[in-house]
Structures are given as C-alpha cells and as structure tokens.
Amino acid sequence: MRGLVLALALGALSVGCSRTSLVDARVAEARDSEGALDTLHDYEIGEVGAKARVADLEGLYAASGGDSRVSLLLARAWCKLSYEFTLDAYEQALESGDAPAASYHLLRARAGYQRAQFYADAWLERRAPGFGAALADEAALPAWLGKRVPATDAAEALLWAGLARVGEADTAGAAPPGPRKIAVRLLAHSLALDPKAASGLGHVGLALAAARAPTPDPTLVERELAQAESAERGRLLVPLLRARTLACQRHDRASFERDLERVLTESDPDPALRLENAAAKRRARRYLTSSVVGAECFDGFKG
C-alpha cells in the first residue's frame, strides 16, 4: 500500500514537473519568435499573424500563472496590434463614412492600449513594487523611477507603458493631460536607461505626446522625430508622422505630400521594420487622397 501511495505521489510530481517544463518551453519559444512577424512584407498576413499571436500569448500568460516574461511580450503585441491594424480599420471606416464602424474600431484601439498598459505596468510592479502608487504623483515620478528602476532591462517595459498611455489618450477624445504627462515621464526614463530600446521608438512616442498636447510644441515634435530618425533611419513611421503632425498643424501641403511620397518611395532595408513600414506605406497612400485628412489639415484652414 505504501508503495502504491509513493508511486502515485511520484507520478503526480512528474506530471507537475512536465507541465512546468512544457510551459517554460512555450515561454522560451514565444520570446525567441518575438520579432518574426516584424519581418513580414505582406500587411494582410501580418494582421492575421498579429491577432493570432495576441491570442496565443494571452493563453500562455494564463497557463504560466502570469509570467512576467509573457506580460512584456503582451504589452508589445497589444501596442503594435492597436496602432498598426485596429487604428487602420478605424481610418478605413472614417474614409467610407461609416460612423458606427469608426466608433467601434476606436473603442477597440483604446481597449488594446489599455490592455498593453496593464501588462507593462504588471511587469514594472513586479520589478519595482510600488510602481502603481508612484504613478499618482506625476511630478515626483522621475525621481522615483531613477531610484527604484535603474536597470537597463526595464527600458522596454517603460517604453510600452508610455506608448500605451499615449495611444490611450489619442483614442479617448478630450482626454485629461495627466496620462500624457505620465507617458512622457516613462518614455524619457526608458530612453535614459537604453536609447536603443526598440530602435529608438521612445522618441516617436515623445513626438506624438508633444503633437497631441493641448498646446502642441512643434519644436519638440521636430526634435524628437529627428532623434527617432537618427536612431533608426529605415523607420518610415518618422516621415509619416511628420506629415500628419507638423505639416498638418502648419497647413503645409507641400511638406505633407513630400513626406508621404518619401514613405512610398524609400527602400525597406531593415527586415525588423518590414511590417511596420508596410503599415506606414499603407497609411501614406490613404492620406495622399484622403478627404478626411485633407479636411482636417487643409480644407478648413483659413490662411
């Protein structure tokens, strides 16, 4: 009888170890394959793959008991899905005049950014307990981050936490300035820890935050976009955003068209940016002929 009990116990232990090993293997595989989608040139395949990856990572997060490695992957995946695909669907609905669909996709994008924020914040809370509480004091946040989050490997989590807040603010309509200010603090600390995190994508986030502020700062937008371009010259998102922010705010149609033509004609040398650049080219084509963007940037301008 004792032998049977021991055998059952050892069997249960073996099953538990096997399950843990399997989950660990899946986590390692998810991390190793993180950049694979980024190399795709086909936007439609990329969209299907991005949705499947988010669903797979959500299941893995649950199976792993909330593994912080998976939470970081999910923060990145939700940010990219929301910007590259969900907001694209929103823009398509606007162009077609389908207001209910536009509202629906805008809500989806906002929810995606909120979910990205949740996962990035969860990673940072594990690394630096009290992170969530520290967010309540935006003015004191830089000093807290400098003291409690000094390690370079936290740069990516800070990046996605900041970008998610910029995205959420952009999709929330008349959003209060608080989340955007917190985003700036997080992005600035991310860049201070590692300027090369996600090939300088933090500068793009700072440019967007400055462009969407209640009082936009064109000088700061230009500076951050220039730094983003210096960090990664193959990133076509930079001239795309320069057109949609600076050129629009200045009602400068010539600069607007020049930047968008650059997006469409420049080569795509970096495989790691291929899908991001495909999304940028898709938007550039739309903006050049868009009645919605034209009305926003030029038609309503009384010079």
Give domain limits for the chain: 41-179, 195-303
pLDDT in the model for residue 57: 96
pLDDT of residue 175: 62
- Say what the pLDDT of residue 18 is: 60
What is the structure's pLDDT at 259?
98
d(Cα 160, Cα 73) in Å, to the nearest integer? 10
The tokens describing 94, both together, are: 């606007």
Cα 77 to Cα 24, 69, 93, 174, distances in angstroms: 19, 13, 23, 26
Q: Answer for the pair 250, 256: CB distance below 8 angstroms, yes or no.
A: no
Task: Please tell me the predicted confidence (pLDDT) of residue 83.
Answer: 97
Sign of CA dihedral 57, 50, 30, 231: negative
Give the pLDDT score at 176: 64
State whether residue 113 is helix, strand or coil: helix
Q: Of 222, 153, 198, 190, give the one whose Cα is nearest residue 35.
A: 198
232 contact partners, CB below 8 Å, separation of at least 6 = 199, 200, 270, 273
Instruction: Give the right CATH number for 41-179 from 1.10.240.10, 1.25.40.920, 1.10.3720.10, 2.40.30.210.
Output: 1.25.40.920
Buried b (16+ CB within 10 A) or exposed e, 46-60: bbeebeebbeebbeb
Query: Which pLDDT belongs to residue 299?
Result: 81
Mean per-residue pLDDT pooled into runs of 10, the chain (303 residues):
53 55 83 90 97 96 93 97 98 97 98 98 97 95 97 97 96 76 97 94 96 92 96 94 96 97 92 96 97 88 48
